[in-house]
């Protein structure tokens, strides 16, 4: 009797679960989701072109150096590059002396050789870019309770990474009147900033690039907000994938070899099995 009762109870729950699943599926298919501000006003990244686009694209070292300058003078105040070492900058065309000077301009955690206590020291080429905050608590306290993300892999972690970074940096604006008219409760909270390229439209980061000439380029390039945004997006693409050029250069010979091997294999097949078919 107990076995029959347990079977009936299990059957009841199975039928109830199946019914709720079917009912939910029918509801999802027939009743459209109510519109939200994020769905209606979120924009895809802008169309922007970089020198490294496409199968034959290459990094522009001058642009990468300009982008690094923007990162160093603007972005590094809040964002780290924990997967990038100072010595990696030699790939951008910096000399050994320049790399040492750049590293020495940053302060990194160290150990006092005399006492063994933790201390801070000037960076060395073998060090990695340090975080500007001691911990997440300090980061939240300085950034409206938000932890600024590490930028080492940001262009790989976001869809259309370079275009996303460029669009985000150039996309800060006032909330559209039609948004507030359609969604009165979607007003940007105090301390946040409206940006249609950010998934939920509001982020804690204030516009980091606010005026033309904010960074003075050493190569004479005019540093408009648009140019600085594009340059730092290119630099962060290199930071996330420094072997991009090498991968493209290696890929073409491999594709050629695979094509040749395929043709050779097909011809061998035809030659070996030609007299075996009936």
How are the residues of the chain apportioned to helix, strand and coil, as percentages rounded to the nearest 5?
Answer: 50, 5, 45
CA 159 vs. chain centroid, Å, equals 8
**120 in Cβ contact with 50 (< 8 Å):** no
Token output for 238: 């290199």
Tell me which residue of 171, 172, 144, 168 sits closest to 157, measured CA to CA: 168
Tell me which residue of 115, 227, 131, 217 sits closest to 170, measured CA to CA: 227
Measured between alpha carbons, how far is residue 17 from residues 6, 7, 21, 26 in Å? 16, 15, 6, 14
- Output the DSSP codes for 100-152: HHHHHTSEEEEE-TTT--EEEEE--TTSBPPPSSSSHHHHHHHTTT-PPPP-T
**Gap between the Cα atoms of 169 and 225, Å rounded:** 8
Measured between alpha carbons, how far is residue 85 from residues 44, 80, 103 in Å? 32, 11, 9
Is 75 annotated to bind ligand? Answer: yes
**Gap between the Cα atoms of 196 and 211, Å rounded:** 20
Is 205 annotated to bind ligand? Answer: yes
Cβ contacts of residue 245 below 8 Å, gap of 6+? 52, 58, 59
Residues at the annotated binding site? Answer: 75, 78-79, 205
Residues at the annotated binding site for heme c? Answer: 75, 78-79, 205
């Amino acid at each position: 009797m107990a076995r029959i009762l347990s079977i009936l109870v299990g059957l009841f729950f199975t039928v109830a679960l199946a019914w709720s699943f079917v009912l939910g599926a029918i509801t999802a298919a027939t009743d459209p989701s109510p519109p939200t501000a994020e769905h209606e006003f979120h924009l895809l990244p802008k169309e922007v072109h970089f020198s490294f686009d496409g199968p034959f694209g290459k990094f522009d070292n001058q642009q990468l150096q300009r982008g690094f300058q923007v990162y160093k003078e603007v972005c590094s105040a809040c964002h780290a590059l924990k997967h990038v070492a100072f010595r990696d900058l030699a790939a951008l065309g910096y000399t050994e002396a320049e790399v040492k000077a750049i590293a020495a301009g940053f302060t990194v955690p160290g150990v006092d050789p005399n006492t063994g206590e933790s201390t801070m020291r000037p960076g060395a080429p073998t060090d990695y870019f340090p975080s500007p905050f001691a911990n997440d608590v300090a980061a939240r306290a300085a950034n409206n309770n938000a932890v600024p993300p590490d930028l080492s892999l940001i262009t790989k972690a976001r869809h259309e990474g370079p275009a996303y970074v460029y669009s985000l940096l150039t996309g800060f604006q006032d909330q559209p009147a039609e948004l507030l008219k359609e969604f009165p409760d979607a007003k940007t909270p105090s301390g946040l900033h409206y940006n249609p390229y950010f998934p939920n439209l509001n982020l804690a980061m204030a516009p980091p690039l606010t005026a033309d000439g904010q960074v003075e380029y050493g190569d004479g390039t005019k540093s408009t907000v648009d140019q600085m945004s594009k340059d730092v997006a290119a630099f962060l693409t290199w930071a996330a994938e420094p072997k991009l050029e090498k991968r493209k250069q290696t890929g073409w010979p491999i594709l050629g070899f695979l094509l040749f091997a395929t043709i050779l294999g097909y011809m061998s097949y035809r030659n070996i099995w030609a007299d075996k078919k009936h």
